[in-house]
Structure 1
């Protein structure tokens, strides 16, 4: 005779509920109906989730306070769950569910705060300071000496759509990593043109930002990584991470420039230097276009 035993019911793992500070860039996605997502990448201080949608690339960065605060991030105070690439997640109905963690936004932060009016003379004085700091830094951009990068700088300074769009077509997705160097540089250019151009009253720079944004986001999902494509869409709207925003404030005289630029340059392998190079190109374009407007 055999004695049967009833299998024990498996105990469901309890979900940990937590709150975080979310970028307003995520508000529409979080407040939409619940939908599936998947883990794109997982690191000790950050998890990247891709939400399945037919619209522009939708990527959420769930990060701790020790990570870079990207414009599409929710920042949490506690530890992140153990997940692997390809794991299922869910986003919507006000929450993010990944692994055993359920997250809700308890406050929001703006990834594109306006700078307010800035004297163009101040920006002109900031350009050589930024150029000197970047040139002295040991942190070099990944595309230093690249012809397309030079073409982009020349096109922006002259508001030449042909040159700018031609350069952008070559730069999107150029370089290795989750955020290729070409994308990081373009993101820096976009936010500088939009924010500094608006602050200094240089409408031509904002006009150029609109056209460049259209060029870099067109089919970005098919030309670069999902994470980088999402960040390009953020930059097209003027949304940026905390380190980039700090440099913009430094250029505008709202805070010290040198420490802000130093923090930006330290990011990643070349990402910080690539972003700084883009900001420098955008700043130079705003100064150049503002001077031309003054001549007329």
Structure 2
């Protein structure tokens, strides 16, 4: 619906729309209104960076063909034409971007619970995991250190490797961050589902490590996604792979969808998931 308002003697036509938002953005959306800016513009989405100390500090306004990140608001209508550094605002239960005022009527959960799972069932599913294609950090020493340290429960090695991986690689979401995000989400969900408490505790330590100074070490969008992953929040493609590993759906199609994300992001996330699965099995006593 479009309405006409008056501002300083001029006519401003504002479009009002509603969307479906991730519950991850509820804190910033329900907080006091704060200024924001357009961080990036894509054919099917716009990233807004909010001037706030809360997380997520970046939210994505997307249409149906975009990847549904865990910090997204999904719109049925097209986005207004905007440019990088254009002003916006977020808060008081609304988002204002150009002529658009967006309210949220529906919510979706980026961290759904998997339910109980036996280590034996996870091990059987894990056998179907293959080396992800086009992984951005294949053969990287820090990734190898992360994998071996996590599986052994060696906290110092895992934290050291995680610190080395934050912000490593090019792009809006560097490969190192994607590997860490896949690992954190997997440890949270599959560790809880199998009762592997050591894996869940490890996730807590790694989450504190990678989010401590993420804003100064990586891109704004990637820092936000690391904070989301630290809480077990991820895109549907990642969650579907975890559900498949838990025997809730077919694994191969879910892996194909995950591998197809971005240039290397999907494969990097899958590499982190693989490290997480081996860690859950090892720390849970199934390896």
Q: TM-score, normalised by structure 2?
A: 0.95
Deviations along 1:11-63, one digit per CA (max 9) or x if unpaired, are 53311111110000111111111110011101111100011013445111101
* Mapped pair 1:252 → 2:251: no
CA contact (8 A) 1:57 1:226 kept: no
Question: SS of the counterpart of 1:239?
Answer: coil
CA contact (8 A) 2:207 2:230 kept: yes
- Structure 1 segment 1-296 matched on structure 2, within 5 A: 11-56=10-55, 58-131=57-130, 135=131, 139-291=133-285
CA contact (8 A) 1:44 1:80 kept: no
Give unmatched runs, 5+ long, in structure 1: 1-8
CA contact (8 A) 2:190 2:280 kept: yes
CA contact (8 A) 1:141 1:277 kept: yes
Structure 1 vs Structure 2 CA RMSD: 1.4
Distance across 1 between alignment mates of 2:9 and 2:174:
44
Distance across 2 between alignment mates of 1:115 and 1:58:
27
Distance across 1 between alignment mates of 2:180 and 2:192:
18
User: Which is strand-richer, 1 or 2?
Assistant: 2
CA contact (8 A) 2:28 2:54 kept: no
Distance across 1 between alignment mates of 2:64 and 2:55:
27
Deviations along 1:126-156, one digit per CA (max 9) or x if unpaired, are 112012xxx3x6x311000100000000011
Question: SS of the counterpart of 2:47?
Answer: strand
Question: SS of the counterpart of 2:128?
Answer: helix
Distance across 1 between alignment mates of 2:43 and 2:11:
25
Question: SS of the counterpart of 1:42?
Answer: strand
Question: SS of the counterpart of 2:242?
Answer: helix
CA contact (8 A) 2:163 2:210 kept: yes
Distance across 1 between alignment mates of 2:45 and 2:26:
19
The number of residue pairs the alignment matches comes to: 280
Q: TM-score, normalised by structure 1?
A: 0.92
Distance across 2 between alignment mates of 1:117 and 1:152:
27
Deviations along 1:169-212, one digit per CA (max 9) or x if unpaired, are 11000000000000000000000001000000000000000000
Distance across 1 between alignment mates of 2:53 and 2:112:
28
Distance across 1 between alignment mates of 2:95 and 2:112:
25
Give unmatched runs, 5+ long, in structure 2: 1-7
